[in-house]
Homo-oligomer: A and B are copies of this chain.
Amino acid sequence: MDRSGDPMKGPPADRRGSISFSRPLGDHCVHMGIELEGLSSKAIPGQFFLIRERGVLDPLLGRPLALVASEGNVLEFLFRVSGRGTARLATLPPGAALELRGPCGNGFPEPVRNELVLVAGTLGIAPFIGIPSFCSERVRITAVLGVPGKGWEPFVEWCSERFTGIRINSDDGSIGRHGDPVEDTLLIVGQRHEVWGCGPEAMLRGLGRVHEKGCDRLLVSLEKRMACGTGGCLGCSIRTGSGSKRVCVDGPVFEWRQVFGGSHEI
């Protein structure tokens, strides 16, 4: 990934692409490369693309997926087969025509601390994949991952190749530690740490409950259903301590406190 050209400043663009590779990681996930037509797209970790099949109007909307890497004209994504759109995406062969809108959103900032802990629930790891090559070398990164367990081995293996010393937690205890990733962070996070989280809302809430005061900065990347990805439809609005925010343009990365800190409902 590349920080040059201030990618966060411009609005997203609609681009054409086609699948260059599609590799299942176990039964639940797919690692996909998408080759863009024309110039490559600059983006930083935490930014995302709305991805849809070109030429059909059902499914209609782009699915938001975090960019995990880019190599020349090929953008890489990692996704869970969850509903209809991702199930369809997972069956498409190489060569299938796609449309992408992006890069969307703000992405992660430069860490303020030298100790960065990344906490991910399953596919919440996606926006973190690019962090190691994005951060300056002074930053020591620890990734903490939670997965359900059985069947997720190939996914865990794939992640382990990308984060040395990644801490694995599984609900069923079949892979790594038995337990959830938030508990696991209790063993490592201190005042000098910066913590970033991405995963289910319950996990993110929990993360703050245990670390809000105990670490230096706590950022979370949120998920909401999206239609436009450009801040127009207000479909992804959340209520925050500082008023209504759109996850697609004001986020997806927020200060934990801003989102979960107050008495407001999100």
Contact = CB atoms under 8 A, between A and B. Distances in A.
A96 B88 contact: no
Given A93-B96, A94-B93, A95-B93, A88 B58 contact: no
Interface string A89-106: 001111111000000000
Interface in A74-91: 87-88, 91
Interface stretch (A35-43, A49-57, A240-248): A49-57
A59 B94 CA distance: 21
A57 B92 CA distance: 15
Contacts of A59: 56
A99 to B, nearest CB: 13
Contact of A93 (B55, B56, B87, B93): B93
Contacts of A58: 56-58
Nearest to A60: B58
Interface of A: 53, 55-59, 87-88, 91-97
Query: Ordered nearest first, which 4 A-B pairs have the shortest CB separation?
Result: A93-B95, A58-B58, A57-B58, A56-B56
